[in-house]
Structure 1
Amino acid sequence: MSRVVYLHVGAPKTGTTYLQDRLALNKTELARHGVHYPLQLHASQFRPALDLLEMPWGGLHVDVDGEWEGLMNRVRRLNGKVIVSHEILAAARTNQVKRAMASLEGAEVHLVYSARDLARQIPAEWQEGIKHQRKQAFAGFLSKVQSSRRTKPNMWFWRVQSLPDVLSRWSKGLPPENVHLVTVPQAGAPRDLLWRRYCQAFGIDPAWAPEQSDRENVSIGAAETTLVRRLNRRLKDAGLPSEEYRRLVRELVVHQTLAQRPGMTKVTLPPAAFPWADEVADEWIEWIVGSGIDVIGDVADLRPVPTAPGTPWANPDRPRRVEMVDAALDAIVALAMEAANRPDPHEQITARIGRAARRLRGQ
């Protein structure tokens, strides 16, 4: 039986967390239909992707050596359809793409890329950066995005989000019909539409993965993001280790606390940036049509949808102080409860001394 590998390379913030978790949850059922999502000890293919990119990510670059080849070895032992999916793969350099394709030699390779319009992606990527300890204000981030080159880019945003550049890097040597672009539906679309589009790209029946995921890469509001951005500055000076930051700030404060707050002010693109975003969308659509690749969805999804006329724009760098204070209080409560639930170090020391004393008495 032949092997067909679907290589999903991103982009970030296009429903990839939900997709990968649903594939993992239904791994056994999918395998019964000849569709494989190879995992090892970890619940995603993040570590192999990190190994291929040879880049640091919170110190993990030391621990992932050999993970890509390990994943490829598992792929080569499978027949039928095999899905490899991680959004950071979009950032691969030309030599890394060549390495990835060489490791899939002998298989029929299909490339899958998912894209969303810039009016949604720019705020989402800014927030994602803040969750990873960055400290840049939204205005500065937007200015850099607009001024940075989109062809052979150095800026991370464009390395993963510049649709023509990503697909040009990854699709060399592939026929256009083996390159599948999944567009992320605009707001108001049926909740499962993006999932069904992914299934179409992978050539699977949605019914083969009945168990739904409740995971998503959460977003937070303007006040909450600015709070975390300012906190990042203080924590850097305080020297909080990255591992503790991931556990206490990203997971506890952001995901479990701030992301659950009702009525948050959404971070949106300023009205003055929409003409530029429209021009980029025109370039993308022209490239897509000329390339002849398979489009799953509608290229119109890639056009930014402006807010209703007369809607005031909320500057995310200058949120209302009362909103920031309220968000900060929620964060403090979460951290206080975490501290209260931690074992008392003095009690731990006393317990260790007691155990040692009992062992001595037993000698």
Structure 2
Amino acid sequence: MPAPAVLLHIGPAKTGSTAMQHAMFQVREQLARHGVHYVGSRPHEKEAGGIALGLAHGAIGRRDPRPESWQRLVDEMATTTLPRMVLSNEDFGRADEAAIDRILTATGADRTHLVYVARRLDKVLPSHWQQQVKARMTTSYEDFLREMLDPDADTWRHRLVMDPQDVGAVLARWGKVLPPERMAVVVAEEGDREALPRAFEGLLGLPAGLIAPPGGPANQSMGLAETEAVRRINRLAIDEQWTPVEYRQLVQLGVVKELKNRAGQSGPRIGGVPAWAFERVAELADTQVDDIRSSGVNVVGDPDRLRVRGQVEPVDLPDEITAVDLDVLADVVSGLRTAAKRMKARTLAGPAADVRGQRDDLGGRQLLQLLARRTAARLGVRRG
């Protein structure tokens, strides 16, 4: 990219975005020494992105986006003296025309270079299912696939997941403002953790090896047993009418965090799509390849790697999990205990400690006692 320039990374989600954000943020001082400014005071400025997208409400359990969060990034981009910048937000992959205008007004349309990362759909879909389970969804993987692959579906979740994967439509929207020579699609290389960092280094004119391959908690997934445990807890959360704040604190910041970090995840995982869904996924993948090739944008990697047909086979889904190991249950309880203690501390700290300015209804000990009576029955147990 010629200077001055802004590399605008728009994701989409589940294509390595979070891992890349953490990888670049960790070396932001080294990036600066090479004339590249990583925009933001944290790896992913989700709240600011919400304002840019025009969202009125935050994600589950989070406060509503505040205009000043986006304005802070706008001011930062306006005042940096380094010749190149990186602004990364995977949510921008679903920006409509109004949001695109807001974003490019901030970055400067005449200096913005767009990068979109395309990943094989048979890998994206299982990852999205797990992500939605971590956001309170109770739907099974197969039912999730039926919704995502239905061409007539018009649900909020379908739009959230599938619209950003329509690379032709995404490039067309951004292409109304940006010329194709300042747009790029990077094709993700499955199994090659260095491909994405090397692509970003090339786009930014950085020495090879400066950005370490992503790894660690930023891109840690759960096994099937752990995901199923969360899915059952989601049913409990719905039955017990947990508030969004309670759910975020107990499940996302408690149980999920504990299960992602557990050492014994050696059980089955879902790594693809079953036979009944294979042809539809293959059709969508072929359309992605055709849209990329006809777009006229720069392409890093081989678009044919996105094809499913001829490269992979349908997978046999694991048997339904009817009970979880005692070790998984122990980690669930550990996560709940840690979260309940945190909630009790926030309650004692007073209303200002809560993201919505309200006290939690339950203290740590009372909440843990309530959950202990119900969690084991909901999960079921079997001796490992």
Scaled by the length of structure 1, the TM-score of the pair is: 0.82
1:145 corresponds to which of 148, 165, 174: 148
Q: 2:199 aligns with which of 170, 184, 197?
A: 197
Aligned to 1:47: 47
Of 96, 112, 116 in structure 2, the residue corresponding to residue 113 of structure 1 is 116
Once structures 1 and 2 are overlaid, which stretch shifts more, 268-277 or 102-111? 102-111
Higher Cα radius of gyration:
1
- 1:146 and 1:175 map into 2 onto residues whose CA distance is 31
Counterpart Cα distance in 2 of 1:150 and 1:43: 33
- The corresponding residue for 1:354 is none
The match for 2:259 is 257
- Specify which of 86, 90, 114 is matched with residue 87 of structure 1: 90
Check conservation: 1:257, 1:330, Cα contact below 8 A.
no
Distance 1:148 1:259, change over 3 A: farther
Sequence identity percentage? 27
Amino acid at match of 1:320: I
Structure-1 residue corresponding to 2:279: 275
| SS of residue matched to 2:331 | helix
SS of 1:112 mapped into structure 2: strand
Q: Distance in 1 between matches of 2:150 and 2:200?
A: 32
Unaligned ranges ≥5, structure 2:
350-384
Asked if 1 retains the 8 angstrom alpha-carbon contact of 2:220 and 2:260, the reply is no
Distance 1:150 1:87, change over 3 A: farther
Residues 115 and 326 from structure 1, CA distance in 2 versus in 1: closer, same or farther, beyond 3 angstroms? farther
Write the distance in 1 (CA, Å) between the matches of 2:311 and 2:249. 35
Q: Which runs of 5+ in 1 are unaligned?
A: 350-363
Q: SS of the counterpart of 1:313?
A: coil
Taking the aligned partners of 2:153 and 2:300, their CA distance within structure 1 comes to 24
Aligned to 2:13: 12
Aligned to 2:78: 76
Read off the aligned partner of 1:53 and give its amino acid letter. Answer: L
Alignment of 1:129 with 2:151, yes or no, is no
Aligned pair partner of 2:223 in 217, 221, 224: 221
Q: Quote how far apart the aligned CAs of 1:194 are.
A: 2.1
| Secondary structure, counterpart of 1:5 in structure 2 | strand
Equivalent residue for 2:242, pick from 237, 240, 243: 240
Q: 1:327 to 1:243 in 2, by over 3 A?
A: farther
Number of residue equivalences = 339
Distance 1:229 1:336 in 2: 15
Shift of 1:294: 0.9
Structure 1: distance between partners of 2:337 and 2:62 = 29
Cα 1:241–1:174 change in 2 (3 A) is same
C-alpha displacement at 1:4, in angstroms?
Answer: 0.3
8 A Cα contact 2:258 2:331, kept in partner: no
Please say if residues 220 and 264 of structure 1, whose CA atoms lie closer than 8 Å, have aligned partners that are also in contact.
no
